[in-house]
């Protein structure tokens, strides 16, 4: 089983371990609101789920993220 996240953390031996660097996975870009509480993500185009029941390869949408957080 494999999965993707909206964002991933960049790591490696040459990076400053005291600084977090994010890179997009399912998100191609994102913005943080002025108060730091609102995040706006733009999703990668053409992302689909695996072609198995019950999702059958359907397109990944922002609604999928909302439902995951509401669980």
Write out pLDDT tens, residues 30-44: 999 999 999 999 999
Backbone angles phi and psi of 4, in degrees to 5: -120, 160
Determine how β-strand 27-32 pairs with β-strand 7-9: unpaired
* Residue of higher predicted confidence among 33 and 68: 33
Q: Give domain limits for the chain.
A: 7-70
Backbone angles phi and psi of 11, in degrees to 5: -140, 160
pTM: predicted TM-score of the whole model, two decimal places: 0.76
The DSSP code for 37 is S
The DSSP code for 65 is H
Residue 1 banded pLDDT, cuts 50, 70, 90: very low
């Amino acid at each position: 089983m494999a999965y993707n996240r909206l964002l991933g953390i960049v790591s490696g031996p040459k990076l400053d371990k005291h600084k977090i660097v994010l890179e997009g996975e399912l998100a191609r870009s994102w913005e943080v609101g002025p108060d730091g509480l609102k995040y706006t993500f733009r999703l990668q185009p053409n992302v689909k789920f695996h072609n198995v029941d019950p999702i059958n390869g359907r397109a990944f949408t922002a609604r999928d993220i909302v439902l995951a957080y509401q669980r």
